């Protein structure tokens, strides 16, 4: 459904001129460097997939989304979204996609949200019954009743973002791109947005690509993870597999009835130890979590147990800072 | 057909909301009208005084120059109604990356920019422009036949397309130039002023420039020759007096094509 083959994007980055002559000249020509924002990226996405597209700031996420939505033309490689080349057939592509940029708004400042919706109805030629149903449904799931008739300039960030999400989906696009849709929002707004994305995906088999720095978004919404850094693809695959392969660390706190814990498993290391309580650390590549617990369960009578697995967040932090090495 | 409905429906809603917002600020609206009357009225009166004082300007009498001036203003206000937003606001959007939104709409990006920034209140200027043209013809004691009236309308539309085309051209500059270039935008305003005088007063290279390169002479100079039965065709063919509508169409289409080409250069902005 979405095919990205060997796509790269370069930008010319200009230096600021100084002096009058240079300023005049600089309107037409300036010293520049080539900045590679995205390098040789490939992936394929099937209908209905929920894909998390993550990477540190400046990794090239937004640039990729912009190429997928037809805003930017790739410097090399080719992209097809439902068989369409986005930057060549922009208008046709626009009908198939919904885009939300967390940093920008699609709404019209002076208009009430409802009027912005009507504008989209005309623009996308949405059939009346579909439009009505969608407005009703979205208003409900995103809890927009209280502000749908207010001018956009009076809305809070969270309200605006909900309205932006709704407007991007009014025409039932088979594909949506969400670029940091939860940035700066409170927990309630975030939860509403996650709920909405999952609901729409379930109802309409909408394909979703989402970028975010909040790993809870990814864990709650996505099945698949694509990781890029410095414009290059580092991981593309199942989210659980990613956790197992790169995380897999776990910490178990066990409290037992007897007064001394002695036998130790060679694959587990002890973090802390008291008379009847032990904190151990393991990695599922060496010994699965279940086996680790089973080992203690066979030898002791466990009264309490606490488990902490490494989160996507902690794995990514380790990757970004270089303490986990990945091969491309 | 479907697409026509899409564009007109969208346009109608923009228009409705824009007019509503505009009329909320009634003070600004009146100030604007007064500004127009004072600004252009003063200019109109100055031509009357100055050209009257010197007898003629390049062989044109005071009333004839006033006709030139008012035809130029009328077509300019029509061009502004449609394209001032494109000229004023779009370059800023292109620079700061807001233009992203336009490119994700299922519409021709140029048409979208035009209808989303259409300045309905400029129609008041258009009405004042029409008054000025009528006054000039009245002062000249020229009565137009039905046929000529029809041709005048075509000429005004043609003139609006020429000036509009140049607005589109300047707006497209922001795709090709680097950084912000306020200078480029002031050039248009200066160039346009040249068509308010008979081009016969300018040196030959300027006459060629205004006929061939930036054809402002077709806005009022050549067609006025037709209406006034004048024949100072300078170095050019007399056919030119009929060509304004055609030139207008060509200029506008060429400018639009260039603008659409410019989109390939669009870089968005990092976010
Ligand atoms: N319009 C642009 N002009 C120049 N450089 C850009 C532009 N857009 C992005 N970049 C650069 O490309 C890289 C990737 O940016 P971006 O895709 O916005 O990253 P992300 O969204 O992952 O944070 C960054 O180094 C950024 O500075
Ligand atoms: Mg980004």
At residue A26 the predicted structure's pLDDT band, cuts being 50, 70 and 90, is: low
Ligand 1 in reach of B265 Cβ (< 6 A) = no
CA distances from A129 to A133, A135, A142, B132 (A): 6, 10, 20, 50
The count of C-alpha atoms lying within 13 angstroms of the C-alpha of B87, restricted to the half-sphere facing its C-beta, is: 22
Q: What's the CA gap between A163 and A142, in Å, rounded? A: 8
Mean pLDDT of A294-314: 83
Ligand 1 in reach of A65 Cβ (< 6 A) = no
* Per-residue pLDDT, A66: 95
Percent of chain A at pLDDT above 70? 95
Show the tokens assigned to A195.
């709920």
Residue B140 CB-density burial (10 A; 0-12 exposed, 13-18 middle, 19+ buried): middle
Chain A with chain B: Cβ pairs closer than 8 A: 84
A283: closest CA of chain B, how far (Å) = 37
* Per-residue pLDDT, A21: 73
Q: What's the CA gap between B253 and B269, in Å, rounded? A: 29
* Per-residue pLDDT, A86: 95
Question: 177-196 in B: which are within 8 Å (CB) of A?
Answer: 177-179, 181, 183-184
Ligand 1 in reach of A62 Cβ (< 6 A) = yes
* Per-residue pLDDT, A327: 60
Whole-structure pTM value: 0.86
Cβ separation A110–B17 shorter than 8 A: yes
Between residues A323 and B151, the one the model is more confident about: B151
- What is the three-class DSSP state of B240? helix
Cβ separation A69–B101 shorter than 8 A: no
Number of H helices, E strands in chain B: 12, 2
Cβ separation B183–A104 shorter than 8 A: no
Ligand 1 in reach of A321 Cβ (< 6 A) = no
Ligand 1 in reach of A226 Cβ (< 6 A) = no
Ligand 1 in reach of A66 Cβ (< 6 A) = no
Shortest-distance atom of ligand 1 to CA A13: 4
Tens digit of pLDDT for each residue in A56-97?
Answer: 999 999 999 999 999 999 999 999 999 999 999 999 999 999
Where chain B has pLDDT below 50, the residues are: none
Residue length of chain B: 271
* Per-residue pLDDT, B45: 86
Residue A311 DSSP symbol: P
Torsion of the alpha carbons at B139, B145, B146 and B149, rounded to the nearest 10: -40
Instruction: Determine how many CB atoms are found less than 10 A away from the CB of residue A288.
Output: 16
Ligand 1 pocket test target in A9, A11, A54, A227 with most atoms within 8 Å of CB: A11
Closest-CA residue of chain A to B15: A119
Mutation pick from A20, A24, A25, A27 vs chain B, by most beta carbons of B within 10 Å, is: A27
Q: Distance from the CA of A61 to the center of ligand 2, in angstroms?
A: 5
**Average per-residue pLDDT in chain A?**
88
- B266 interfaces chain A, CB cutoff of 8 Å: yes
Between residues B6 and A321, the one the model is more confident about: B6
* Per-residue pLDDT, B110: 96
User: B179: which chain A residues are within 8 Å (Cβ-Cβ)?
Assistant: 14, 26-27
Between residues A25 and A217, the one the model is more confident about: A217
pLDDT at A328 over 60: no
Tens digit of pLDDT for each residue in A269-289?
Answer: 888 888 788 888 888 778 888
Q: What's the CA gap between A251 and A269, in Å, rounded? A: 10
Residue length of chain A: 328
Q: What's the CA gap between B271 and B260, in Å, rounded? A: 24
CB within 5 A of ion ligand 2: which residues?
Answer: A 61-62
């Amino acid at each position: 459904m979405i095919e990205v083959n060997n796509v790269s994007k370069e930008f010319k980055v200009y230096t600021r001129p100084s002096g009058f002559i240079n300023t005049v000249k600089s309107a037409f020509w300036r010293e520049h460097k080539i900045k590679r924002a995205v390098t040789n990226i490939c992936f394929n996405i099937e209908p209905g997939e929920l894909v998390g597209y993550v990477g540190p700031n400046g990794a090239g996420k937004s640039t990729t989304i912009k190429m997928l939505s037809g805003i930017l033309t790739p410097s090399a490689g080719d992209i097809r979204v439902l068989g369409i080349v986005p930057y060549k057939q922009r208008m046709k592509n626009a009908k198939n996609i919904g885009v939300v940029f967390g940093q920008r708004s699609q709404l019209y400042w002076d208009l009430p949200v409802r009027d912005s919706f009507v504008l989209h109805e005309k623009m996308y030629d949405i059939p009346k019954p579909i439009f009505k149903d969608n407005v009703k449904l979205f208003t409900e799931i995103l809890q927009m009743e209280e502000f749908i008739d207010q001018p956009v300039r009076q809305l809070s960030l969270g309200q605006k973002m909900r309205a932006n999400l709704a407007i991007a989906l009014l025409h039932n696009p088979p594909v949506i791109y969400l670029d940091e849709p939860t940035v700066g929002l409170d927990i309630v707004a975030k939860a509403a947005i996650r709920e909405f994305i999952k609901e729409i995906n379930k109802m309409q088999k909408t394909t979703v690509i989402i970028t975010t720095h909040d790993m809870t978004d990814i864990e709650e919404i996505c099945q698949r993870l694509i990781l890029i850094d410095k414009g290059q693809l580092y991981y593309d695959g199942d989210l659980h597999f990613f956790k197992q392969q790169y995380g897999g660390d776990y910490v178990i706190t066990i409290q037992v009835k007897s007064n001394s814990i002695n036998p130790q498993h060679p694959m587990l290391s002890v973090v802390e130890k008291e008379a009847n309580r032990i904190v151990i650390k393991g990695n599922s590549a060496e010994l699965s979590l279940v086996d680790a617990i089973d080992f203690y369960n066979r030898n002791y009578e466990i009264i309490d147990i606490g488990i902490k697995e490494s989160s996507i967040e902690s794995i990514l932090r380790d990757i970004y800072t270089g303490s986990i090495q990945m091969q491309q | 057909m479907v697409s026509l409905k899409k564009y007109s429906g969208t346009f109608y809603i923009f228009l409705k909301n824009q007019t509503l917002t505009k009329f909320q600020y009634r003070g600004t609206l009146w100030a604007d009208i007064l500004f127009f009357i004072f600004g252009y009225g003063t200019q109109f009166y100055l031509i009357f005084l100055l050209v009257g004082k010197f007898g003629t300007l390049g062989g044109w009498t005071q009333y004839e120059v006033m006709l030139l001036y008012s035809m130029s203003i009328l077509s300019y206000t029509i061009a502004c109604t449609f394209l001032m937003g494109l000229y004023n606001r779009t370059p800023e959007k292109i620079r700061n990356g807001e233009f992203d939104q336009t490119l994700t709409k299922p519409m021709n990006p140029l048409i979208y920019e035009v209808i989303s920034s259409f300045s309905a209140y400029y129609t008041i200027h258009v009405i004042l422009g029409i008054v000025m043209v009528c006054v000039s013809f009245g002062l000249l004691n020229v009565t137009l036949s039905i046929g000529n009236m029809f041709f005048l309308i075509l000429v005004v539309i043609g003139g609006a397309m020429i000036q509009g085309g140049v607005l589109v051209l300047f707006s497209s500059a922001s795709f090709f130039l680097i950084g912000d270039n306020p200078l480029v935008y002031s050039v248009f305003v200066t160039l346009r002023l040249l068509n308010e005088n008979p081009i016969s007063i300018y040196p030959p290279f300027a006459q060629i420039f205004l006929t061939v390169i930036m054809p402002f002479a077709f806005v009022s100079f050549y067609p006025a020759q037709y209406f006034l039965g004048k024949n100072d065709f300078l170095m050019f063919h007399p056919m030119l007096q009929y060509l304004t509508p055609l030139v207008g169409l060509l200029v506008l289409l060429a400018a639009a094509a260039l603008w659409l080409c410019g989109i390939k250069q669009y870089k968005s902005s990092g976010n």
